[in-house]
Homo-oligomer: A and B are copies of this chain.
């Protein structure tokens, strides 16, 4: 009887009542509930049967107040990452529900809000653990305090090398390998003048992708690069791209977006200016969003669900440790480049627009 869960004769069930029905004490019932080994098999069986029959679930507040497990995990994320966040939360929820825990998901409204949410949970005792998804860079100015409840970093590659964060469990994305392979692919396709649309600049992963782009460009004599800032979402990316196109003498060979939505913004701008993709310019994104495959967008597949599962696994591992260990676990998730239509010149490139090399070459000769 689903409707009678946790109720008996219309009254909410308590340990006390279960104990009475089982002809034992509250202590023993509690021991059964917490899997305490100091209960005889026979007693355990009898008590468990009553518990099961009535669908009894202990009051979480009493439990939490007593300082035991609350069965709640706080997940702090950002609305801007909603696509990734939805996948990650799915993965976490899978693991959490296997551990009889629920997710308390909070969307931060900005870096400061993110940090104050984190600190509140870190000391508050409201949850058993915290997962920080793509936290703002600013969080690294703070540190994990000795008394904090367990925390796992998710999608914040590199944070572990920072003072005060080295002992924190983390699952990070291998942005650099994936980004480098996309860049190499573009160069192979004949691209020499690349533009990176930076997206939000305040997460570690965003920063890492931008840095990777810059280093790659610097390491290649034959490649020129430029970073366009403040292209955080589809519309801003479209606007930034339009502005860029209006002030540039030559159209670049490729636009790389911080993520797929930014790439789509660039595609819209290019379409608006009548510039063909991929004939005139290549475009790539990051994330492999739902429709990326359909529109043939070259991108990097990010296995969000798997990442969420792993983050939750690390957290439960930590939570279940008897005593504090000096171990910090770090999982690096490999990402898969997806080369698609927007960056492929199958039949040789047919370009109407002048290349940068031609223009600058001409200018060089003229000068």
Q: A61 near B: Cβ within 8 Å?
A: yes
**Pair B61/A147 contact, Cβ less than 8 Å:** no
Query: Which residues of A are at the interface with B, using a C-beta cutoff of 8 A?
Result: 2-3, 5-7, 10, 12, 57, 59-65, 70, 72, 79, 82-83, 85-87, 89-90, 93, 97, 102-107, 109, 115-116, 119-120, 123-126, 142, 145, 147, 234, 261, 264, 267-268, 289-291, 294-295
A116's closest neighbor in chain B, by CB?
B2
Contact B7 A123, beta carbon cutoff 8 Å: yes
Minimum CB–CB distance for A193 against chain B, Å: 25
How distant is A260 from chain B, measured CB to nearest CB, in Å? 8
Q: How far apart are A101's CB and chain B's nearest CB, in angstroms?
A: 11
Q: Which residues of B contact A124 (CB under 8 A)?
A: 6, 57, 60
Closest Cβ of chain B to A336, distance in Å, is 18
Q: Considering only CB atoms, which chain B residue lies closest to A233 in the complex?
A: B290
Q: Indicate whether A290 sits within 8 Å of B234 (C-beta atoms), given known contacts A61-B70, A86-B82.
A: yes
Q: Which of A62, A72, A86, A294 has the most chain B CB within a 10 Å cutoff?
A: A294
| A147, B64: Cβ atoms closer than 8 Å | no
Q: Given A90-B82, A261-B290, check contact A142 B3 (CB 8 Å).
A: yes
Taking CB atoms, residues of chain B closer than 8 Å to A83 are: 86, 290
